[in-house]
Amino acid sequence: MRNLTLSANHGKLWFAVAGVLAVSGKRHRRAAARGLGSLAGASLLSNSVIKPLVGRSRPPADLLHPHRQLPRMPWTSSFPSGHSASAAAFAVGAAMERPRTAIALAPLAAAVAYSRVYVGVHYRTDVVAGAAVGTAVALAGHFLWPATPLRAAETAPGSAPALTYGEGLVVVVNAQSGSAADAPAAIATALPGATIVQWDVDRPLAEQVPDRFRALGVAGGDGTVATVAQLALDRGVPLAVFPAGTLNHFARSLNLETYADTARAVTTGTAGTVDVGRIDGRVFLNTAGLGGYPEMVRLRDRLEHRIGKWPAAAFALYRAVKGRKPVDLVINGQHRSVWAVFVGNGVYRPRGLSPARRSDLADGVLDLQYLRADRRLGRTTAIIASLFGTVERSRVLGSVQAARLEIASASGPLLTAHDGEVTGPVDSVVLEVDEQRLTVYR
């Protein structure tokens, strides 16, 4: 117990656990990051705020057997237990991202909490209060920064052929995408029967693929996926998405985190159908936007991995609207003054201009969200709300959900964006859900 409680001093034990999680895969890295973030918040709250306010004395050291005493007894306030707060915060935070980690982390956190009573530096109520503080901070973190769901988004029923060794599959690889350099070799290893096509972006895609195939695959970013999806729709074949881009939003929504995940879906024939959005006839599978949104997305995605999701969203929004006038739009016949417009192919959560996920890829609606410019201090409110992830609960957010959206600009031509590709400028745009769904391996 003494060794355990000493190992948890200054969070050293939890940093070590986070290191183990970090080398165990992408989802475990998210668990480690959330655990450490929760720990930092709980430690700050318990040690710097609550302890000085309460000022409770430690249990009498002379009543404790010498072999249970620490080499140096702490002198700060006893209530609450900072070690217990940190332990609970890390365990609960990590389990939100990766529930299976609770099997090991919950007993370890409980042992650390008990060790503080065993070595005589806390009363039981200190430990219980500390655990409550840590749990509360982890839950508050989930409120501001929702955990990434482990389940794939729902799709409508659909069927696709099970292609043993990838026979009958043609995979289009865009070597210019984020992580596609190793895609040909990796896909050939996982699916030796597949045909690999290196996409020459200067030539029509339809001319570069064979005339006959049973399924079409794509290795590239979301913009590449949308382009190849159009060909899959034209040929009436299912699409297999290999996550070879920078962000891979569409692949992740299908729970395809690795090439092996996609290869498994192809060989087993696990598939469904999803809605296809169109912006002036061009396919988009994830999102579209106009006004300041295209610029905001590019900056937010560049900063998100450095400073975190909400700070990146707030800073990107600030840069997108800094020194600019609001945009006057007519959305399905209704006049709106807005700062930026986001359109999701399906309903996105959380609400606001930093959407992270969809629970259903076949709900049949376009989800338009916009920041209102007709509110006093609306721009400032939007930036602050984006920083804390509370845009949905502010009055600056407006939304429209429909299968078809007609948007006209009264402020002159505007840039548009869809699945990371920027186009335009245009005076008006039509977005709609295609009548034909796309069959995808998942």
Q: Say if CB 107 and CB 155 are below 8 A apart.
A: no
Are 275 and 345 a contacting pair, CB within 8 Å? yes
**Bridge pairing between strands 169-173 and 195-198:** parallel
Q: What fold, for 164-274?
A: Rossmann fold (3.40.50)
Beta strands in 256-373 (DSSP E): 271-274, 277-279, 282-284, 287-291, 327-331, 334-345, 348-349, 357-358, 366-372
Domain segments of the chain: what residues?
A: 2-144, 164-274, 287-434
- Could you write out the DSSP letters of every residue in 132-161? HHHHHHHHHHHHHSPPPPSSPPB-B-----
- Dist CA 240 CA 253 (whole Å): 13
Cβ pair 150, 99 in contact under 8 A = yes
The pLDDT of residue 77 is 86
Six token digits for residue 274: 């999803």
What is the chain's mean pLDDT, rounded? Answer: 85
Q: How many of the other CB atoms lie within 10 Å of CB of 40?
A: 16
Q: Model confidence over 213-245: pLDDT tens digits?
A: 999 999 988 889 999 999 999 999 999 999 987
- What gap in Å lies between CA 80 and CA 132, rounded to an integer? 9
The pairing of strands 287-291 and 334-345 is: antiparallel
Sheet order of strands, 169-173 included: 195-198, 169-173, 215-220, 239-243, 438-441, 271-274
User: Which residue has 């409980």 as its token pair?
Assistant: 110
Amino acid at 432: E
Per-residue pLDDT of the chain (442 residues; tens, 9 = 90+): 888 998 988 889 999 999 998 888 766 888 888 899 999 999 999 989 998 888 888 888 777 777 777 777 777 888 999 999 999 999 999 998 888 899 999 999 999 999 999 888 889 999 999 999 999 999 988 876 666 655 678 999 999 999 999 999 999 998 877 667 788 889 999 999 999 999 888 888 888 998 889 999 999 888 899 999 999 999 999 999 999 877 788 998 998 988 999 999 999 999 999 999 999 999 999 999 886 666 676 677 677 666 666 567 667 767 766 666 788 999 999 999 887 788 999 998 777 656 667 889 999 999 998 888 776 666 666 666 655 556 666 677 788 999 999 999 988 888 888 887 778 788 999 999 999 999 999 9
Which position has the token pair 């074949």?
A: 237
| Whole-number pLDDT of residue 342 | 85
pLDDT tens figures, 373-429: 776 666 666 666 655 556 666 677 788 999 999 999 988 888 888 887 778 788 999
- Homologous superfamily, domain 2-144: Phosphatidic acid phosphatase type 2/haloperoxidase (1.20.144.10)
Residue where the block lists tokens 């002198």? 75
pLDDT value of residue 239: 97
Question: The domain at 287-434 falls in which architecture?
Answer: Sandwich (2.60)
Among left, alpha and beta (phi > 0; psi -120 to 50; other), residue 109 is: alpha
